[in-house]
Chain A
Amino acid sequence: MKVRLLALALSLVTATDLQAQIRASEIGTFSQIIDGTKISMSYSRPRGRGRDPLFGNRKAVHWGEVWTPGANYATTFEVNRPVTLDGHPVKAGTYSVWMVVRQSGPWTMVLDPKVRIYHMSPPDSNATQIRFPIQTKDAPYLDVLTWSMPELRSNGGTLTMQWGKTRVDMNLDVTPSYALTMPQADANPYIGVWEYTEIDSAKVGPAERFVIDYENQTLKGRWHADSAYFKHFALVKIAPDWFAPGVYDDKGQVYEVYKPELVLEFTRENGRATSFLARDDQDKIVMRGKRIQ
């Protein structure tokens, strides 16, 4: 028994030793979900370690190199739905990431569908790759190479790589899950003046006005109370006669769609919407409305 216990203890120590390792470029991951699209990156994160400059330096990244913006095995970029990067379509999948690093002029971003490639063996240019020019800019010094999305919108964000004093920003757009616009003919059955009451448990609130109109090819609503939060919100069609409020930011971009928290279900008579129920995420009726004009 003693021999068995000793063997077990030794095997545990060995396993622990194999898992723990100090690396010059520790492995990191980054992920972001935008409107249901998950963007993930996995990469080894090199540190500057006093090398200055980092680019154009034989001890770090030399000019003309096809470099993986990471270290060791190539950085990977994964999306579960199609996106565009600086306007270039990228299908759902996993790609190894490379940059052609130049002393002057734009660099080239390369996404290669082959992954698990060691950084010393960059892929040759080939037809399966997605390649486009990228601009570098100066930035405050950052010692550890970092991928991030410092800016987010409802339909995308800025994908950023920064190392040392060099930064690359790319515009990433996701495939929207909703169409905010609709033809006027589809909007017409809902446009008008409505009266609604809020229902809190068994208590029914006072009747209020609700106006539905059509602006910039979008069906929009405005609660009579002129809520400082909802303001003039988009009515985002999620199913036939079902709409969820889409709230705009100060730049006119929808930044949140309120579902399942608040879904307006309209009922039609002779093709025209005449009443609605608003239900919450528990299917509870929280508003009743009827057309008055």
Chain B
Amino acid sequence: MPSGGPHPTPRAGITAAKVLTKDKLDGKADLIALFDGVREIPEVIDGIRCQCGCAGSEGFYSLLSCYEGDGAMAKICHICQGEGKLAIRLHKEGKSLDAIRNAIDAKFG
């Protein structure tokens, strides 16, 4: 189990509609690529608990929450960013959600 609590269950029908787009990312190429990568797999990112300490914040549900809205924490938080990058890479390698969760717990937990 990750520090602070269990990983969330991805919400049925979850979309990336609230994930910030490049026009909100100040032209930062690295961030744009990361947020685009998250946008492609919201059903995976929504099943991950963030380890940076933001998980207790009001309105937070999953790592996906870190990429949503004008106050998206992943714009500035290296842990939110690193978890997103790891999840995207492992998903591309064909890893299951559980395997991705385990990897994030091992590296960031």
Contact = CB atoms under 8 A, between A and B. Distances in A.
B34 to A, nearest CB: 9
A263 B79 CA distance: 15
Interface string A237-271: 01100100000000000000001100100000000
Contacts of A36: 3
Given A36-B3, A283-B86, A283-B89, A242 B81 contact: no
Interface in B44-85: 78-79, 81-82, 85
Overall SS of chain A's interface: loop
Nearest to A263: B107
Contacts of B106: 238-239, 242, 259
B78 A281 contact: yes
B108 A260 contact: yes
Contact of A260 (B3, B102, B107): B107
Contact of A282 (B3, B81, B103): B81
Contacts of A283: 82, 85-86, 89
Overall SS of chain B's interface: helix
A238 B86 CA distance: 15
A259 B3 CA distance: 15
B82 A242 contact: no
A151 B32 CA distance: 45
Nearest to B81: A282
Interface in B80-101: 81-82, 85-86, 89
Contact of B82 (A238, A239, A281): A281
Nearest to A81: B3
Given A36-B3, A283-B86, A259 B107 contact: yes
Given A36-B3, A281-B78, A282-B78, A238 B85 contact: no
B95 to A, nearest CB: 12
A260 B84 CA distance: 13
Nearest to A260: B107
Given A36-B3, A283-B89, A260 B103 contact: no
Nearest to B51: A260
B36 to A, nearest CB: 15
Give the most central of B82, B85, B102: most A CB within 10 Å.
Answer: B82
Given A259-B108, A281-B78, 10 more contacts: A259-B106, A259-B107, A260-B79, A263-B107, A281-B79, A282-B78, A282-B81, A282-B82, A282-B85, A283-B85
15 contacts: A238-B106, A238-B107, A239-B103, A242-B106, A242-B107, A259-B107, A260-B79, A260-B82, A260-B108, A281-B79, A281-B82, A282-B78, A283-B82, A283-B86, A283-B89
